[in-house]
Amino acid sequence: MSTPVSAQDVKGIIPAGSKGPVSMPIVVAVPKEMAPGEHRVATVPEVVQKLTKSGYEVRIEHDAGTGAFYPDDLYIAAGAKIASCPAELLNGARIVLRVQPPTVADVDQLAEGTIVIGFMNPANNLEAIARMRDRKVTAFALELVPRITRAQSMDALSSQATAGGYVAAILGADNCPKFLPMLTTAAGTIRPAIVLILGAGVAGLMAIATAKRLGALVEAYDVRRAAGEQVRSVGAKFLELEINAEGQGGYARELTPEEKAQEQQMVSAAVARADIVITTAAIPGRRAPLLVTKETVATMRPGAVIVDLAAESGGNCELTQFGKTIREHGVIIIGPQNLPARVSFHSSLMYAKNLQSFLALLVDKDGMLIKEFTDEILAASLLVHAGDVRHGPTRDLLSGGTP
Ligand code: NAD
């Protein structure tokens, strides 16, 4: 393990003891993601080229991009340096760009004052967050970037949900024993498959668009009535219910028990006639809503497929098992884990561009790191800083309360 370099040594911009403001490049380090099944990388050569042009020194851990098909030599050609081990990577690094949250062991390698940017999965990563607090590491959580127009270019939840929705539709088609498009052939006419999408947020809309391109008949449902227009604009039929559960910030609110019963009834009828059901319904900070009961699964046709994108937060289908594919009543139920990692080349590219936009907020017009994170986007996504957990719900969880 490396000896951590003190923040004073690496303040990065003005070297200790120097007389004037001699600019030193800000070192941005990108580790190889070590979480099982994680093939993405936090930056890609195209973005490295822009960062080095802007004056950053970019260091990439050896093989960090291999899982996403960005070999070391492309990073070198783009101006990055390759570090052979984490110690070499982090020595003097001011900013660390990650995809998955750091582990406690990762945090222990960071010098005080290092800025880490990536997904932090705060509710499930409390130990590492406490360690970042104690080691006075600064962490920005991309999940906390507000969904405002100015932040669209750094909205990693959206870019990765887009990738997830695409893969979900492909997975559904791959597991379906039917053609998706209508076919008129000498051997007869084939009717198009029916694909039902439950939850028409970012992932759902991408799944709809992908299933449409494959030629299926697509129906979709969301509790937010505003989603109807978006669903129709990508050529699918929107299933209407007398509920509008638009909550704060464009997200859905939890339904009342009466509304839930009404929803279940309509959803069950639609599920029963579908060949592929892709579920993406989520409510921030809550268990995923239960939309497909085991009784409803029993009414589906044998050979039907459910792809439950909400598997990680409890599943929209009662029978889903996270990370597994099971078969019940002849129905294949897929509870996928980390779908964006299956299109690692493009999901990494989109993620890297999100981070590039985010990084731009952290430097002033002279390319110096800013000290006050007062910008609305930075303030909202600042999870840990200077020995404090800045995100209230995470602070509550750490002190043993409910968020
Ligand atoms: P999400 O992942 O939190 O949820 C996915 C979808 O599930 C949402 O559309 C939600 O309404 C739906 N849902 C929740 N409970 C449901 C239920 N019981 N039945 C059916 N559907 C249910 O959402 P997301 O994809 O992250 O997007 C949430 C919202 O944020 C959307 O309105 C989206 O357009 C908006 N958004 C805005 C911006 C921006 O302005 N920058 C960026 C991204 C998303």
Mean pLDDT, range 6-25, rounded to an integer = 45
Residue 402's pLDDT band (cuts 50, 70, 90): low
Mean pLDDT, range 290-306, rounded to an integer = 96
Q: Which protein residue has the closest C-alpha to ligand 1 atom 4?
A: 282
Q: What is the pLDDT of residue 241?
A: 77
Residue 174's pLDDT band (cuts 50, 70, 90): very high
Q: Is 213 a catalytic residue?
A: no
Q: What is the pLDDT of residue 12?
A: 38
pTM of the model: 0.91
Ligand 1 center–CA 100 separation, angstroms? 22
Under a CB-based contact definition with an 8 Å cutoff, are residues 217 and 172 in contact?
no
First-last CA distance in the chain: 35
pLDDT digits (tens, 9 = 90+) for 217-229: 999 999 888 899 9
Q: Which protein residue has the closest C-alpha to ligand 1 atom 37?
A: 147
Q: Is 158 a catalytic residue?
A: yes
* Residue 32: count of CB within 10 angstroms of its CB: 18
Q: What is the pLDDT of residue 253?
A: 79
Ligand 1 center–CA 222 separation, angstroms? 9
Which 8-state DSSP code applies to residue 21?
A: -
> Does ligand 1 come within 6 angstroms of the Cβ of 275?
no
> What is the average pLDDT score of the chain?
92
Q: Is 6 a catalytic residue?
A: no
Q: What is the pLDDT of residue 256?
A: 84
pLDDT digits (tens, 9 = 90+) for 155-171: 999 999 999 999 999 99
Of residues 251, 313, 321, 375, which has the active-site annotation?
Answer: 251
Ligand 1 center–CA 248 separation, angstroms? 11
Helix (H), strand (E) counts: the chain: 14, 17
Q: Is the pLDDT of residue 333 over 90?
A: yes
The amino acid at residue 166 is Y
Mean pLDDT, range 354-377, rounded to an integer = 95
> Does ligand 1 come within 6 angstroms of the Cβ of 220?
no
| Helix (H) or strand (E) segment spanning residue 264 | helix 257-273
Ligand 1 center–CA 135 separation, angstroms? 35
> CA–CA separation, 199 vs 31, rounded Å?
34
| Ligand 1 atom with the shortest distance to the CA of 249 | 30
> CA–CA separation, 314 vs 124, rounded Å?
14
Q: What is the pLDDT of residue 56?
A: 97
> Does ligand 1 come within 6 angstroms of the Cβ of 223?
yes
Q: Is the pLDDT of residue 248 over 90?
A: no
